[in-house]
Amino acid sequence: MPTHEELTEERTHLATARAELARMRERTLALDVQSGNAVSAEALAETLWRRARSLEDDPTTALFFGRVDLDTDERWYIGRRHVTDDTGDPLVIDWRAPVSTTFYRASHADPLGVRLRRRFGYDHGRITAMEDEHLLDAAEPDAKSQILATEIERPRVGPMRDIVATIQPEQDALVRVDATTTVCIQGAPGTGKTAVGLHRAAWLLYAFRERLSRSGVLVIGPNEAFLEHIGAVLPTLGEVEVKHTSIEALTASVPVRATEATEVARLKGDARMAQVLHRAVWSHLVPPDEAMVVPRGSRRWRVPAYDIAPLVDGLAGREIRYDAARQLLPQRLAHAVLVRMEALGEYPDDRVQDAVARSAPVKAYAASLWPKVDARRLLHRLLSDADALAAAAEGILTPEEQQLLLWEKPSRTAGSVKWSLADTWLLDELGDLLNRTPSLGHVVLDEAQDLSPMQLRAVGRRCSTGAATVLGDIAQGTTPWSTASWEESLRHLGKPEGVVSELRRGFRVPASVIEFAAQLLPEAAPGLAAPQSVRDNPGQLDLVEAAPGDLAGTLVAQVDRLRGLEGSVGVIVPDARVAEMSAALAKAGIEHGTLGATHGDVDHQVDLVPATVAKGLEFDHVLVLEPAEIAAAEPDVRTGLRRLYVVLTRAVSDLTVVHARPLPEALAGG
Ligand SMILES: Nc1ncnc2c1ncn2[C@@H]1O[C@H](COP(=O)(O)OP(=O)(O)OP(=O)(O)O)[C@@H](O)[C@H]1O
């Protein structure tokens, strides 16, 4: 046990570090932007502003949360950011610095040179507890950290928080995987996949700041409610520039105004569609069969078709996009003319080649071989014209599949099409066939199990020159195209060399709740196990049967009970009942927010959550209404059970299930 003097010493160190942080910030703010050039002055001012922002001190969070004393006699305080005194000596080391690894990973079995590891417990920015481990002392037993336990057990309020103070060794190893490696993390609910993905983004930006802040880091999540839930984590870690997007928004180059049958969407999400579209685009090329004739001055230059064919083949054979190559063709044709001029003793220069390339006959000839292709018009034609589709899909899709793709009532023009979500995947693929999609430095893809192969391709081309962190749980796959194998997902992502790891320890769901939900697994996801809950609190499970006509009344009474407790309350209901239950809550005077795929809520203690929006979220107290109805709303039994598994695993403290219909069979014994 640390002594009172030691506690006082540590508080003094904290006060010094805070004062030095304030000094660093003042100095940054006092720096005058002096630059002769307005653009660079602006850039500099922006950098300084960002730096000043990153030096803001939040007195309610821990400036440092750990300390390691090494056998080399070095002592490091580990915290959210570097703090140095005015001689440049470090008072606090950023949790992402290499030396901080020792704090997270050292153990009695493998002390990594750590003599003492000290964890600090805080209350409103004041050190209130310390835990010491002497890792070189083989006789000292491994102790369970109370500070970690307190952090995991604390009631959840508001959006997700960072976990820098308590990152676990297996999580730290994944956070710090080298920047060029794509990692895929499979993990049951609450094992910290999202937390690891976000901390990995922050670590990458620290370790490879120059490269990644230029190329960018993107976090992709299932919907806007989820993005609002996780959106504060990176900014509190000082990373304000990481963009967040929902998977739908990623490919939304056109508004989505149509829905379609599941089997059509599934087929549009099939990777074979990429081959169909590839052929559809490149089949626009017309082999030259006439000579190109270019009048210039008094002469007419003639390049025979057999000399042009290799030029076209040369362009088409390269790893070049259709449109980029199309724009190169006039120059190639002009060059062929120049070669002929030179052969006859002329000395044309580059300007002549440019002029020839821009001349009307060359442009017209190039356009006849390599016509302009518009993605929307092409997709409109493929989905409305059976012959056009057959030409592109022959040998790739069966005639029945082609029939399935064709619209029953095609719109007259591409401009008036009501596109579906799956169409946006196809348009995105077409866009990339025409012009290469710029790649970011790193993409963190959450809830990746739900993506179709074509969506994975869309994500993959956005990190084609970078790497990805892929997070998900096969047992939580609830789309008709959700993946059965991470190896396959990685292949579609274009990262077959990606490394698959698993997280097993659950930090969210207490034992009684996870045991109840896990009864679904044998049928929902054979072979996958529930997390091993590391929670001390066994949690509470209440099954409340409502009289058939009194579902809303029972729900209101239970929510009223739950809101009297500390922490957030998530009321997860079948999508079709959101309006009814919201009205019932409002009538009873229970203030609440309603989450949707397009919006979250950070203001209310009580949130009404449509079952299909609950993925990735967590609440202290969860009420699930009518499980049988939630399951039945899905297109098949397995997806229904998986949806239930997702909604039943959102609780941190307790789960209340309100039902009038019998529970699904798998849960009935619980
Ligand atoms: N090392 C840790 N220390 C403290 N809290 C942690 C730790 N790891 C995870 N948690 C907490 O556990 C909860 C679940 O984490 P997270 O949402 O990242 O899990 P997940 O695996 O993405 O879950 P799901 O599959 O349900 O989306 C969060 O509240 C997170 O802060």
SS (H, E, C) 128-186: EEEEEEECCCCCCCCCCCHHHHHHHHCCCCCCCCCCHHHCCHHHHHHHCCCCCCCEEEE
Neighbours of 382 (CB within 10 A): 24
Q: Is residue 50 very low, low, confident or very high in pLDDT (cuts 50, 70, 90)? A: low
What pLDDT, on a 0 to 100 scale, did the predictor assign at position 30?
73
191 annotated as ligand-binding: yes
What pLDDT, on a 0 to 100 scale, did the predictor assign at position 348?
84
What pLDDT, on a 0 to 100 scale, did the predictor assign at position 45?
66
- Tell me which of 324, 348, 369 is where a domain ends: 369
Mean pLDDT of 75-101: 93
The pLDDT tens digits for 109-158 are 999 999 999 999 988 888 988 999 999 998 888 888 888 888 888 888 87
194 annotated as ligand-binding: yes
| Residue 126 belongs to some domain of the structure | yes
Domain count of the chain? 3
| Residue 137 belongs to some domain of the structure | yes
Ligand 1 center to residue 648 CA distance, Å? Answer: 15
Burial state string for 23-55 with b = 16 or more CB within 10 A and e = fewer than 16: ebbeebeeeeeeeeeeeeeeebeeebeeebebb
Residue 33 has pLDDT above 90, yes or no: no
- Tell me which of 329, 345, 369 is where a domain ends: 369
Task: Based on the fold, state whether residues 514 and 663 are members of the same structural domain.
Answer: yes
Ligand 1 center to residue 193 CA distance, Å? Answer: 6
Distance CA 644, CA 523 (A): 12
Ligand 1 center to residue 633 CA distance, Å? Answer: 28
Dihedral (CA of 407, 409, 413, 418) sign: negative
Mean pLDDT of 266-272: 98
Distance CA 360, CA 22 (A): 67
Nearest Cα residue to atom 3 of ligand 1 = 166
The pLDDT tens digits for 511-557 are 999 999 999 999 999 988 888 988 888 999 999 999 989 999 999 99
190 annotated as ligand-binding: yes
Please choose from 618, 643, 646 the residue to mutate so as to test ligand 1's pocket, defined by most ligand atoms within 8 A of CB: 618
What pLDDT, on a 0 to 100 scale, did the predictor assign at position 151?
82
| Residue 83 belongs to some domain of the structure | yes
What pLDDT, on a 0 to 100 scale, did the predictor assign at position 469?
98
Helix, strand or coil for residue 400? helix
| CATH code where residue 614 lies | 3.40.50.300
Residue 670 has pLDDT above 60, yes or no: no
Nearest Cα residue to atom 29 of ligand 1 = 508
Q: Is residue 376 very low, low, confident or very high in pLDDT (cuts 50, 70, 90)? A: very high
Mean pLDDT lowest among 242-246, 263-267, 530-534: 530-534
The set of residues, in sequence order, having a beta carbon less than 8 Å from that of 47 and lying 6+ positions away, is none
Q: Is 189 in the pocket of ligand 1 (CB under 6 A)?
A: yes
| Residue 410 belongs to some domain of the structure | no
| Residue 496 belongs to some domain of the structure | no
Helix, strand or coil for residue 30? helix
Q: Pick the residue with more confidence: 536 or 462?
A: 462
Going by DSSP bridges, is the β-strand pair 532-533/505-506 parallel, antiparallel, or unpaired? parallel
Distance CA 227, CA 244 (A): 7
181 annotated as ligand-binding: no
Mean pLDDT lowest among 71-80, 133-142, 329-338: 133-142
List phi, psi (to 5°) of 2.
-65, 150
Q: Is 197 in the pocket of ligand 1 (CB under 6 A)?
A: no
Nearest Cα residue to atom 24 of ligand 1 = 189
Ligand 1 center to residue 526 CA distance, Å? Answer: 23
Mean pLDDT of 261-281: 97
Nearest Cα residue to atom 23 of ligand 1 = 190
| Residue 198 belongs to some domain of the structure | no
Token pair for 472: 């998900």
Let me know how long the chain is: 670
Ligand 1 center to residue 156 CA distance, Å? Answer: 12
The set of residues, in sequence order, having a beta carbon less than 8 Å from that of 420 and lying 6+ positions away, is 256, 258, 259, 260, 264, 265, 268
| Residue 155 belongs to some domain of the structure | no
Domain that holds residue 528: 508-668
Mean pLDDT lowest among 129-133, 199-203, 572-576: 129-133
What pLDDT, on a 0 to 100 scale, did the predictor assign at position 535?
87
> Residue 78's beta-bridge partner residues?
66, 93
Q: Is 616 in the pocket of ligand 1 (CB under 6 A)?
A: yes
Q: Is residue 322 very low, low, confident or very high in pLDDT (cuts 50, 70, 90)? A: very high
Nearest Cα residue to atom 16 of ligand 1 = 192
Distance CA 606, CA 583 (A): 14
Average pLDDT, the chain: 92
Residue 318 has pLDDT above 80, yes or no: no
What pLDDT, on a 0 to 100 scale, did the predictor assign at position 51?
61
| Residue 35 belongs to some domain of the structure | yes
Mean pLDDT lowest among 4-8, 283-287, 469-473, 474-478: 4-8
Angle between helices 511-518 and 637-648 (to 10 degrees): 180
Ligand 1 center to residue 86 CA distance, Å? Answer: 38
Ligand 1 center to residue 194 CA distance, Å? Answer: 7
Ligand 1 center to residue 632 CA distance, Å? Answer: 29
Q: Is residue 193 very low, low, confident or very high in pLDDT (cuts 50, 70, 90)? A: very high
> Residue 220's beta-bridge partner residues?
245, 445
Q: Is 167 in the pocket of ligand 1 (CB under 6 A)?
A: yes
Nearest Cα residue to atom 1 of ligand 1 = 167
413 annotated as ligand-binding: no
Please choose from 104, 153, 191, 653 the residue to mutate so as to test ligand 1's pocket, defined by most ligand atoms within 8 A of CB: 191
- Tell me which of 143, 171, 194 is where a domain ends: 143
Mean pLDDT lowest among 247-251, 425-429, 602-606: 602-606
Q: Is 102 in the pocket of ligand 1 (CB under 6 A)?
A: no
Please report the DSSP string for 229-256 in residue order.
HHTTHHHHTT----EEEEHHHHT-SS--
Residue 35 has pLDDT above 60, yes or no: no
Q: Is 618 in the pocket of ligand 1 (CB under 6 A)?
A: yes
Ligand 1 center to residue 439 CA distance, Å? Answer: 29
List phi, psi (to 5°) of 64.
-135, 150
